[in-house]
Structure 1
Amino acid sequence: MTGTTDNETILRGVLDRWKAAVDAHEPGQVAARFTEDAIFQGLHPYSVGRPGVAAYYDSQPRGMTARYRILETRGLTDDLVLGYQSVEFAFPDRPPLTVNLSLLVQRLAGDWYIALYQVSPLP
């Protein structure tokens, strides 16, 4: 199993690519960071697979950006890392929204992808 530093490096690699695609409003590129059968729960009903991820991010306003902070990590196996993050989504026309984000990332064919994405709004 990987150590905490390795887990954070893995999560940052995944999250940095996710963030770049979110910030550029590229829903297809956001979805490409997920496994084919990813379970995705944003602030709308959940979906399974990349098409649902792409549709969700396509519905987000242009100019939305994401800023994340990793709070906790756990290496579950050599090919699975669990992450718990705080994410602030900023918008051009309204106040930012901060949520908690749980991720399960999985190594497939030498790269890391999001297999589970679960957002929880703050109270």
Structure 2
Amino acid sequence: MSHPLHAALSGWISAFNRHDPEAMAELFTSDALFQGYGPEPTRGRDAVRAYYAAVAADRSAEGKVLHTFALGEDVAGGFAEVTIRNPEGPQAHVHMSLVLVRQGPAWRIRQYHVSPVRSGA
């Protein structure tokens, strides 16, 4: 059986590439902690929905899982490397950290954090 982070990342990329803020919000728990590129962490699906509604519709993403972990049967997570493509400018390379919780049959994102990948430190 595949680790749930693979499905979570796939769902995130799919919702991002469709520019579907509602589908993106549904990937998260109702009380999710969210730290995107904004200056402050936010909480909840409404904040996630608003964040992704503000992303330009011409952006696309691709990514791969780097590391996974599990804490019992209902908590899992890990790290992914994601590239956000901008057709008119530079690409953004980020590391994405996710903590997932099982809610019924579904895995949802409980904690989300991205940080830029810096080249040549």
TM-score of the pair, normalised by structure 1:
0.90
Rounded to whole Å, the distance in 2 between the matches of 1:102 and 1:54 is 19
Which residue in 2 is equivalent to 1:64?
Answer: 59
Is 1:22 matched up with 2:16?
yes
Question: What stretches of structure 1 of length at least 5 have no aligned partner?
Answer: none
Q: Which one of 102, 114, 119 corresponds to residue 119 of structure 1?
A: 114
Question: What stretches of structure 2 of length at least 5 have no aligned partner?
Answer: none
Which residue in 1 is equivalent to 2:99?
Answer: 104
| Deviation string, structure 1 residues 58-114 (Cα, Å, up to 9, x no partner) | 111111111111110011110111211111001121121001110001100111000
Is 1:42 matched up with 2:36?
yes
Q: CA RMSD in A?
A: 1.1
Q: Matched residues, percent identical?
A: 33
Rounded to whole Å, the distance in 2 between the matches of 1:77 and 1:43 is 30
TM-score of the pair, normalised by structure 2:
0.92
Q: Which one of 60, 63, 74 corresponds to residue 79 of structure 1?
A: 74
**Which segments of structure 1 move beyond 2 Å, counting only runs of 4 or more?**
none
Aligned residue type for 2:2:
D
Which residue in 2 is equivalent to 1:6?
Answer: 2
Rounded to whole Å, the distance in 2 between the matches of 1:62 and 1:92 is 11
Rounded to whole Å, the distance in 1 between the matches of 2:25 and 2:78 is 18
Aligned residue type for 2:111:
L
